[in-house]
Copies of this chain bind each other. A is one copy, B any other.
């Protein structure tokens, strides 16, 4: 059973008013012409800080006590949650320390610093970000803001699902499916709860990079699977090897299955978005679009919502994608 009610997501939206953006639900004709799918794009790359993560971060920080606010917050993240917590902390007048891998995309490192957060870099190979964050919390009393295993974060991400339900209804469409790029599962959980209440005919699927398809496997087996990835992925924001605990309790009953995309398919989607949609997507943010362009699930004729979850890409990575698909 879900531990979140959709009314709590509606309440979260009140706290996000004037801070998070209600991003557009786009319907580009070119995508329908190419795929035969009535594709609706939830453009979270146009969200404040360039990803959906600001929704959860601001909501979590809005619910700190006065005492917690004084102690500040700490978070670890490869980038989008980092920027979101840093931005939310500045908006709410709270100090923030962010633990980030030294090889995080430059756009994400610079973004995080630009909001005035203190950044503590660590070596992915040799150090544990959890231990560093715990030590900072112990030393300063700072509150750890988890990237997905936190009900207030999930409620915040769920506001994206409320908007999808309302915007598709305004467009006169009942979405058959919504595809969500997924790492720990917070966004999928929030969207799953919102759509179950407001658009119950819509089925929700995760999209994960090959080798990190722990949600797909967990949903197939009906239990929370832990992978030991043997390789990396271009999708730096989708590298969780296991569904979160709290998110899985929601997602096990809310989600219908998982799709998987290769790095090549993701590159093609980033290039397609640049050339034909005129949207800047980061690899992780293009995962659902990649699944569509790769022909996943034979979705022809159906109405599919694709979450474009983020746009924080370095110019060099975009160039690689464009050069890999010069005619796409």
Residues of A within 8 A of B (CB): 19, 21, 24, 26-30, 45-46, 48, 50, 107, 274-281, 311-312, 315, 318-319, 322
Given B275, B278, B315, which contacts A319 in the complex, CB threshold below 8 Å?
Answer: B315
Look across to chain B and name the residue whose beta carbon is closest to the beta carbon of A18.
B29
Q: A27-B21, A29-B21 are in contact. Are A278 and B45 (CB under 8 A)?
A: yes
Q: Using Cβ atoms and an 8 Å threshold, which residues of chain B touch A46?
A: 26, 28, 277-279
Interface of A is mostly: helix
Look across to chain B and name the residue whose beta carbon is closest to the beta carbon of A27.
B21
For the complex, give the distance between the alpha carbons of A279 and B319 in Å. Answer: 16
**Contact indicator A26/B24 (Cβ below 8 Å):** yes
Within the complex, the shortest CB–CB distance from A17 to chain B, in Å, comes to 12
For the complex, give the distance between the alpha carbons of A28 and B49 in Å. Answer: 10
Q: A278-B311, A280-B280, A322-B315 are in contact. Are A28 and B21 (CB under 8 A)?
A: yes
Q: Which of A21, A277, A278, A281 has the most CB of B within 10 A?
A: A278
For the complex, give the distance between the alpha carbons of A161 and B160 in Å. Answer: 29
Given B28, B45, B312, B322, which contacts A48 in the complex, CB threshold below 8 Å?
Answer: B28
